[in-house]
Amino acid sequence: MLEVKDLVVAYGRIQAVKGISFTVEQGQVVTMLGTNGAGKSTTLRTISGLLTPVSGEIWFEGKRLDGVPPHKIVERGIAQSPEGRRLFRQMTVEENLRLGAYTRKDTAGVKEDIDRVYDMFEVLGERRNEKAGLFSGGEQQMLAIGRALMSRPKLLMLDEPSMGLSPIMTQKVMATIADLQSQGTTILLVEQNAQAALSLADRGYVLEVGRITFSDTGKALLGDDRVRKAYLGAD
């Protein structure tokens, strides 16, 4: 579904991503691991069209994606829930969700998908007319995922969805990701909670200072000594 080839992304003279290549197959959960500054968020932002690569290619469903404007990328079927949620805090839950569907013209379908998000996250339905800024971190994360789903993405990119959340709320978010995969959504997950991410992932990639150092199935990476020492706190 997604193929990234030799991608290089820079901020001025500093290369944040240094020639990485990876694929995401339809129906998979693929996770990217790495410490802060490894290039994970930069990679997602480049796929979303928010950053322009120095070189390399991005292909989605057989069509070239790099150079396409961000709103057109959403129309093609890619949505991102960004790091830090980036909600419109003074707007209500429902207003935030409707903004996620801004490229759509099917009013009935948008209403149907709002109801779907409310079914998925009951607290959002109960507080649909409250401002997003009044919500807890976990509730805001639910809203950010719900907003991304409103464009009916084929590929959903999640950037640090468990950041700052309690263990119980993290478990809820990860269960939601598993449910979305079972419903046919392909997911590219950037997550510092390596245990949770690899337990879900069909495949994982480990980034270090802008380069992919190794990759394997999620299960294999969970048992890999390098991953265990670096990300799982094992001796």
Give the pLDDT of residue 235. Answer: 52
What pLDDT is recorded for position 134? Answer: 87
Alpha helices, DSSP H only, in 102-232? 107-120, 122-126, 137-149, 167-182, 194-200, 218-222, 225-231
Output the pLDDT for position 9. Answer: 97
Pull the structure tokens for residue 103: 């490229």
Element (H, E) at 159: strand 155-159
Burial class of residue 65 in the structure, from the number of CB atoms within 10 Å of its CB (0-12 exposed, 13-18 middle, 19+ buried): buried
Dihedral through CA 137, CA 142, CA 148, CA 151, nearest 10? -150
Over residues 162-191, the pLDDT tens digits come to 887 788 888 888 888 998 999 899 999 998
- Is 60 exceeded by the pLDDT of residue 234? no
Per CATH, the homologous superfamily of domain 1-68+190-235 is P-loop containing nucleotide triphosphate hydrolases (3.40.50.300)
pLDDT, tens digit (0-9, with 9 covering 90-100), for 70-112: 999 999 999 988 776 788 778 899 998 998 888 888 889 899 9
Q: Average pLDDT of the chain?
A: 90
In the block, which residue shows the tokens 């990300």? 231
Find the range with the poorest average confidence among 27-41, 73-87, 186-200.
Answer: 73-87
Extract the tokens encoding 18. 């240094």
Amino acid at 48: S
- Taking residues 33-39, report their average pLDDT: 89
Report the alpha-carbon angle 154-165-38, nearest 5.
65
